[in-house]
């Protein structure tokens, strides 16, 4: 959802986002939007960079459907502000500035105006939401593209290249992420750290073109956000980079409680027949209609965003 078209987006990028309600929810607590960042140096516009954000509100927290939207826009705004501070050594924002923004985002939570949130009847726990953000830029000569991803909470980044697909999946004990909003309340932070492990699990799945796959697991400190930098190159070009909430792992049918594998769920989500227009929304709605016919549904909400690269010589599946 969000901006349907971004003026002056570089020709090699396409961006879209969408979210769907899960079968077990009466209100969708996921959210997604995309926009553009006007990258400038010395007042001169360098390029318009695609930016996409997804958020997944906590089902156990009141009004988290509203809080997820607030948190998504808050994180986007903090990134934009960090990009506009100081001077640049190069024309790069997502190579040079993104890591600095991501490393200091938790410190920026103090800038969330909590009294204003409460003044409109929202509890502070409404801000309990996973947030993932990504953005992309080209190099000075229009090539050497980079996509930067940051994630706070559970979710996945899915990178599709000519050589295959890599899935980076973040999960927490008891599906209880260490939300950014905990930094607004010392006591909630301490309760979390006493109740749950101080780590999350990062699973990296590599799927080759021949269908074989391998998986690596790594434990990471919950104080450390997920971060990823994807560099395009001529030998193994990037087709798309996507971020997705954990709802895509909750597909079920009557006979099989958890349908398919992580690989099955992720790869079907990014198999875009085309990358023009609202390609993420179109694909998600198409899959939903097909799944309904086949008695398949996802019981959790799903939010997803993708930045796709122009790659005219690479085959794509037909819808």
Q: Give the model confidence (pLDDT) of 83-140 as tens digits.
A: 887 555 556 788 878 998 999 999 999 999 888 999 999 999 999 999 999 999 987 6
Is residue 313 over pLDDT 60? no
Q: How confident is the model at residue 181 (pLDDT cuts 50, 70, 90)?
A: very high
| DSSP assignments along 193-231, one per residue | HHHS-SEEEEEEEEEETTS-EEEEEEEEETTSPEEEEEE
Q: How confident is the model at residue 260 (pLDDT cuts 50, 70, 90)?
A: low
| pLDDT for res 162 | 93
Is residue 157 over pLDDT 90? yes
Q: What fold is seen in the domain 13-309?
A: Phosphatase 2c; domain 1 (3.60.40)
| pLDDT for res 317 | 42
pTM, two decimal places: 0.92
Q: What is the pLDDT of residues 204-254, one digit of tens each?
A: 999 999 989 999 999 999 989 999 999 998 889 999 999 999 998 888 775
| pLDDT for res 318 | 36
Burial class (CB in 10 A: 0-12, 13-18, 19+), 288: middle
Q: Which of the residue ranges 21-35, 162-176, 204-218, 305-319 would you say has the lowest mean pLDDT?
A: 305-319
């Amino acid at each position: 959802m969000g901006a349907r078209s971004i003026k002056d987006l570089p020709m090699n990028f396409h961006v879209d986002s969408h979210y769907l309600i899960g079968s077990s929810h009466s209100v969708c607590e996921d959210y997604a939007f995309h926009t553009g960042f006007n990258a400038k140096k010395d007042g001169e516009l360098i390029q318009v960079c695609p930016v996409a954000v997804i958020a997944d509100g906590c089902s156990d927290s009141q009004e988290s459907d509203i809080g997820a939207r607030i948190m998504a826009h808050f994180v986007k705004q903090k990134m934009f502000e960090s990009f506009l501070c100081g001077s640049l050594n190069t024309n790069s924002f997502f190579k040079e500035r993104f890591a600095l923004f991501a490393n200091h985002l938790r410190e920026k939570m103090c800038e969330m105006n909590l009294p204003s949130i409460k003044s409109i009847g929202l509890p502070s726990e409404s801000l309990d939401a996973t947030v993932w953000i990504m953005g992309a830029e080209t190099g000075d000569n229009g090539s050497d593209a980079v996509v930067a991803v940051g994630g706070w909470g559970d979710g996945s980044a899915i990178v599709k290249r000519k050589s295959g697909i890599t899935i980076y999946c973040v999960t927490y004990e008891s599906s209880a992420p260490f939300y950014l909003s905990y930094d607004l309340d010392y006591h909630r932070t301490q309760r979390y750290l006493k109740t749950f492990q101080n780590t999350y699990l990062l699973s990296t799945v590599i799927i080759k073109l021949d269908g074989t796959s391998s998986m690596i697991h790594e434990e990471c400190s919950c104080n450390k956000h997920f971060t990823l930098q994807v560099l395009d190159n001529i030998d193994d070009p990037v087709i798309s980079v996507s971020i997705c909430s954990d709802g895509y792992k909750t597909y079920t049918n009557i006979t099989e409680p958890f349908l398919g594998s992580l690989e099955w769920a992720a790869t079907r989500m990014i198999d875009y027949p085309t990358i023009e227009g609202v390609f993420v929304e179109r694909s998600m709605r198409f899959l939903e209609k097909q799944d309904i016919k086949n008695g398949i549904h996802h019981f959790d909400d799903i939010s997803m965003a993708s930045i796709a690269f122009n790659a005219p010589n690479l085959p794509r599946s037909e819808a």
